[in-house]
Amino acid sequence: MEMSRLSKILNTIVWGIIGVLGIYILGYGVKGQSFAKAAYACVKVLTNGEGSLQRAAEKSLYPGFSFIAGDRELSYSFEEFLLRKAVGLFPLYTFLDEKELYETEIESQAAYDILIEGGAHDENEIDERTGEAFDLAEKMEEENLQVAHEQEQTALEQEPQKAAGTEYMTEQLADFDFLKNNFYIVENNTDIGSELLNAETLLEKDMRIQEFDSGPQILIYHTHSQEGFVDSVAGDNSTTIVGVGDYLAELLEGTYGYQVIHNKNVYDFIDGKLDRNRAYALAEEDVRQILEEYPSIEVIIDLHRDGVDEGTHLVTEVNGKPTAQFMFFNGLSFSKRNGVIDYLPNPYIQDNLALSLQLKLACEKYYPGLSRKIYLKSLRYNLHLRPKCLLVEAGAQTNTLEEMMNAMEPLAFVLNEVLGGGIPEE
């Protein structure tokens, strides 16, 4: 809310109270009482009238509850009469004056609280034409996010432990309901059908990198570079998601032979403050410039960490080491309320889905229990810049840096499994 509006409202309330007390003092004057006595009476109203003020507020704001509670007194003091009249005026004024701003402020605060937690549930809903947040009431409700977390947690608890080397049969994956229920979390504001989520089509897509001699093939960046972990050190980027990206780039280059660009530019920290309102728009500008400079880039990875309840610890064991679980993420440019979001075109939605599903199946084959269900959300999240675009939510704020670093080793492995069919042998 703007300070001028707030000041106006506060001034109105203050002058209203002064006016009420002025009438009260005037009443004493009419009765021939001294000013001192009138002033004393006013002080008495303010110091001893707490109960009257509370009752007046209750009757003004919650008349139904007051009636049910049995407060039907027919007479009360002159002090309480004035207080009831004063309190009865201000809620109406405040409601009429603040209604639009109040709703916007609360929705924005709820969105900000979610954003602070980070990850799949922190993506600000951005109108990419203006760079501003929009329609937060539909898509950023905390109850919806909580339901999604609870659904995922229930699924994890009920899912039997798979043995290493688990592979799903083609017939299983061809069943749309089986595929959707076992591999995806679909947030309440969006949906997906069998035409788009078709396992046969998605698994037939060749996600292998085609060129290895013309320049860098992979770009890693972080729309939310400020995301940290339980033991991150303030001011030390090597202990945040940026440091984790460094290690992923090192593994992809040193172990698997890719050429990788790691863009460490900041998009969510503006003028010394955490500000994610335009993070995706700012990141897109930079990524487009990088793609123009290095047209050989085929794969783009936006590496995040998720935000979960403080009691949730996304960790498993891989090769005897505590390892943060990770999740692949897709934006569908589709909302239940409005259908296809025309101004967020993404010609590569099915390619994006193919990449995440093939990676998920590789995880199930080699590291069962490591990857969470693929998360589907309504907007685009810059996944339209290349067919092989990927958003990864690795771990969460409750993980340690060690667990996060350990997670990059199996992530690099499955990336190579899906992308590396064309790497020449040495």
Instruction: Find the range with the poorest average confidence among 15-24, 291-300, 307-316, 335-344.
Output: 15-24
Q: Which long-range contacts (CB under 8 A, 24 or more apart) does 44-49 make?
A: 44/79, 45/21, 45/79, 45/82, 45/83, 49/79, 49/80, 49/83
Mean pLDDT (whole number) for 40-68: 51
pLDDT value, residue 171:
86
CATH classification for the domain delimited by 127-422, as one of 3.30.360.10, 3.40.630.40, 3.40.50.300, 3.40.250.10: 3.40.630.40
Q: What is the pLDDT of residues 116-149, one digit of tens each?
A: 333 343 444 544 444 444 433 334 444 455 555 5
Q: What is the pLDDT of residues 385-421, one digit of tens each?
A: 999 999 999 999 999 999 999 999 999 999 999 999 6
Q: What is the pLDDT of residues 81-104, one digit of tens each?
A: 555 555 555 554 444 344 333 222
Extract the tokens encoding 166: 């688990």
Q: Which residue has the higher pLDDT, 68 or 170?
A: 170
Looking up tokens 């400079």 gives 293
pLDDT value, residue 169:
78
pLDDT value, residue 248:
98
Mean pLDDT (whole number) for 317-335: 97
Domain ranges of the chain: 3-111, 127-422
Beta bridge partners of 334: 340
pLDDT value, residue 97:
42
Extract the tokens encoding 210: 């085609």
Contact 365, 167 (CB under 8 A): yes
